């Protein structure tokens, strides 16, 4: 498990994965769209860069996808790459999941999760001998995901926004730690098929507030928005009013899947990779 083909190396997560793989001695090939070759980070100079899908999968043990996009990318393009991987005798395929546990959510509860489950269902039919590994890391701590996109905590206003009781565990991980664990998952010689859950930290809402306060050295006001049923209603209303504006409702869909516990990861595999000291909320903010 040494020869790796990486898709999405020009993105935030993919570039970190490239670095983590090279650091572990992987023989790395990057499949990059022709117009994006100039975006390949200089620190991935040790990798081979190809732009043509034909032939890109030959001689590869593991394919990792770290792409971002809609169903044409997450379902259609990833299935095309899985078929190419199977035809080339690739042993492992890691799709671009990097999420909470979307298998716990129902259809329509989160569109991004729907596409990832659609890929997983089709992959289960089509993978043949290729092992499909779903890396799950909860919510990203950095790149303004937890402290931005999600609408959970506003550090400038010093407010945290709660729906329901907040008593479910939620997972938080940095991009860099997710990349490190994914590199380990890619190169691991053991069978790994299925969910591969890792996390920087697992916290309930009150625990999250405490860790943020300790790490950022601030005091947060908890704003109670209503019940989880009120959150369902707020999402339905936003979708009805602004169907084309995903920023009006997608963040709430993620926050719902965390607060209601449906996306919780359960046991994580961190302990199997002790060299990775995954960062928690307090250390991330203190840094």
Interacting residues toward ligand NAP by CB under 6 A: 7-8, 10-14, 33, 36, 39, 66-69, 73, 77, 96, 98-99, 137, 139-140, 145
d(Cα 52, Cα 105) in Å, to the nearest integer? 36
- Strand, coil or helix: what is 7? strand
Least spacing, CB of residue 189 vs ligand NAP, in Å: 25
Kindly state the DSSP code that residue 255 receives in the 8-state scheme: H
Helix (H) or strand (E) holding 203, with range, is strand 201-203
Integer Cα distance of 194 and 124 in angstroms: 10
- The rounded distance, in Å, linking the Cα atoms of 21 and 66 is 13
Nearest-approach distance from CB 205 to ligand NAP, in angstroms: 17
160 vs 179 by CB, closer to ligand NAP: 179
| Rounded (10°) CA dihedral 162, 168, 174, 177 | 180
C-beta separation of 198 from 269 below 8 A = yes
Nearer to ligand NAP, 101 or 184 (CB): 101
Locate tokens 């990097």: which residue?
98
Residue nearest to ligand NAP (CB): 11
In the complex with ligand NAP, which residue's Cβ is closer, 38 or 240? 38
Q: Smallest distance from the beta carbon of 9 to ligand NAP, in angstroms? A: 6
Closer CB to ligand NAP, 12 or 204, in the complex: 12
Closest CB to ligand NAP among 99 and 239? 99
Closest distance between ligand NAP and the C-beta of residue 219, in Å?
A: 26
Q: Least separation, in Å, of the C-beta of 96 and ligand NAP?
A: 4
């Amino acid at each position: 498990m040494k020869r790796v083909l990486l898709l999405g190396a020009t993105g935030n997560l993919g570039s970190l994965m490239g670095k983590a793989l090279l650091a572990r001695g992987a023989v790395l090939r990057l499949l990059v769209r022709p117009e994006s070759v100039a975006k390949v980070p200089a620190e991935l100079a040790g990798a081979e860069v190809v732009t043509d899908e034909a032939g890109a999968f030959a001689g590869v043990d593991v394919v990792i996808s770290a792409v971002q996009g809609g169903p044409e990318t997450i379902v259609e393009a990833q299935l095309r790459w899985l078929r190419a991987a199977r035809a080339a005798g690739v042993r492992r395929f890691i799709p671009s999941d990097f999420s909470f546990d979307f298998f716990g959510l129902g259809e329509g509860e989160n569109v991004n999760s729907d596409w990832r489950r659609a890929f997983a269902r089709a992959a289960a039919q089509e993978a043949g001998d290729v092992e499909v590994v779903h890396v799950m890391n909860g919510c990203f701590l950095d790149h303004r995901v937890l402290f931005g996109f999600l609408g959970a905590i506003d550090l400038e206003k010093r407010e945290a926004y709660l729906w329901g009781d907040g008593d479910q565990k939620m997972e938080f991980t940095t991009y860099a730690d997710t990349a490190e664990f994914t590199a380990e998952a890619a190169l691991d010689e053991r069978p790994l098929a299925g969910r591969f859950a890792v996390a920087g930290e697992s916290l309930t809402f009150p625990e999250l507030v405490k860790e943020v306060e300790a790490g950022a050295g601030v005091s947060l006001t908890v704003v109670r928005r209503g019940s989880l049923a009120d959150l369902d209603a707020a999402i339905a209303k936003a979708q009805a009013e602004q169907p084309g504006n995903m920023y009006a409702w997608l963040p709430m869909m993620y926050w719902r899947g965390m607060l209601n516990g449906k996306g919780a990861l359960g046991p994580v595999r961190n302990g199997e990779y002790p060299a990775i000291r995954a960062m928690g909320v307090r250390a991330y903010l203190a840094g």
